[in-house]
Amino acid sequence: MVLGGPVGADQDDLYPFLSGEREALRTRLAAGAPTLGICLDAQLMAAALGARVAPGLGKEIGWAPVALTDRGRAGPLRHLEGVPVLHWHGDAFDLPPGAERLAATPLCPNQAFALGRHGLGFQFHPEADGQGFERWLIGHAVEIAAMPGVSVPALRDDARRLGPGAAEAARRCLGEWLGGLA
């Protein structure tokens, strides 16, 4: 499992570790090793598989549901249907060759993808449960201040209200995905 971070997937000049992480992901995925990527690391997975990663149509910051595809509703992501999850990204990825789209939003058509049974990438944050959310608010204060219509009090309130339900849905989703690997 590889998690996200507040850097761009193509910023190797600033963060040289990114090229090594892409190579490690390429090797794992080619070997069929179970791999779960969230946010930045879903972008790195997509890039490792040959897909383009670039700025999206706009930044998504806040809690909102994703629209599941038929394939998304037929698998573990069905537990997330209608559940607001945390979005926090400005970049997006094209669907990698051989992958199946599982979820989308109007600003980001590739919110989740599967590569066979072994690879799962989320642009959104299924791991976000509202606990420790204050660190996100502090660490991204400048980014939040630059987003029209996004406020720290509203994000905090949404995390408190929506985080526990999102966490439970994500536990069911990820538990089912992990169980299918055995």
Q: How far apart are the first and last CA of the chain?
A: 16
Instruction: State the Cα–Cα distance between residues 125 and 88, nearest whole angstrom.
Output: 8
SS3 assignment, position 35: strand
Q: Is the pTM of this model over 0.85?
A: yes
Q: How does 27-39 read in b/e, with b if 16+ C-beta sit within 10 Å?
A: ebbeeeebbbbbb
Q: What is the pLDDT along the chain (182 residues), one digit of tens a residue?
A: 877 788 999 999 999 999 999 999 999 999 999 999 999 999 999 999 999 999 999 999 999 999 999 999 999 999 999 999 999 999 999 999 999 999 999 999 999 999 999 999 999 999 898 888 999 999 999 999 999 999 999 999 999 999 999 999 999 999 999 998 86
Which backbone phi and psi does 34 adopt, to 5 degrees?
Answer: -55, 130
